[in-house]
Each structure stands twice: as C-alpha cells, then as structure tokens.
Amino acid sequence: MSGLKVVDINTMEGERREPPRTSWILISEKTVGARNLAMGVNRTHPGGMVPEHSHESEEEVMYFMAGKGKFITEHEEIEVKPGICIYNPPGGKHKIVNTGDVDLEFVWIYSPQLTSHRKSNHS
C-alpha cells in the first residue's frame, strides 16, 4: 500500500505536561503526513488532569483503556473507565480528571487535527 506508515509508541518519548500527564502524538501531519486527523495516547497520572479547554472546530473521540476518572463538561460529569468511548463535538469546554490511584490512559482522535499537530499554520 503506497504511503503506509507505522508508528511504534515504544520507540517514542512522550511529552510530559503539568498537571501530571504524558501525551504521545502518534498520527498527525508532523509525524506521518496525515491531512485530516490526528491520533495519540494520553496517560494522566494519579492526581493529574487534562485542564479545562475547548476545540472550536474539531471533533474529538476518546477511548479509555485503563484507570478511572471523570470527563467533566459545563453541564455534566461522566464516569470513565476501560471500555468507555466519548464523542465530543466542537465548542464545549471540558476537562478530564484522574480519580484513581493508577494512570488513566486513553486514545484520542481529532478531526480535523489541531493547528499544533500540523507542520505549518494552514487549515
């Protein structure tokens, strides 16, 4: 298959952020030349969170694989655990909090990808 790319998270260094979490951007324009989406993994460490933010034009999907926590919006709190998948439409503020004592691990996908995932600031 022409243009096929393989990415191995085991050979990549994650980006550590505060509050305590680590993120890997596996698929994006920067990593493999993807045009329409980005995908990665987030490990939010015990006591950590993904701070409140919003995506004005990007759809987001999160699939939770390990740990437990809460996906919190302006209007609701959703308990997350392995097997939970959330579709988050553009616009709403949200945050993700690790409420357990092990890493809260999830896969995320954006479409279109965030500006920070692109090689340049084109849309």
Output the pLDDT for position 118.
Answer: 85
Output the pLDDT for position 120.
Answer: 75
The rounded distance, in Å, linking the Cα atoms of 104 and 43 is 6
pLDDT string in tens for the chain (123-residue length) = 468 999 999 999 999 999 999 999 999 999 999 999 999 999 999 999 999 999 999 999 999 999 999 999 999 999 999 999 999 999 989 999 999 999 999 999 999 988 888 887 554
The total of other beta-carbon atoms located within 10 Å of residue 39's CB is: 21
**66 with 82: CB under 8 angstroms?**
yes
Exposed e or buried b per residue across 85-118, where buried means at least 16 C-beta atoms within 10 angstroms of its C-beta: ebebeeeeebebbbeeeebbbbbbbbebbeeebb
Output the pLDDT for position 107.
Answer: 98
Where do the domains of the chain lie, and which CATH numbers do they carry?
Answer: 15-115 (2.60.120.10)
**34 with 28: CB under 8 angstroms?**
yes
Output the pLDDT for position 123.
Answer: 47
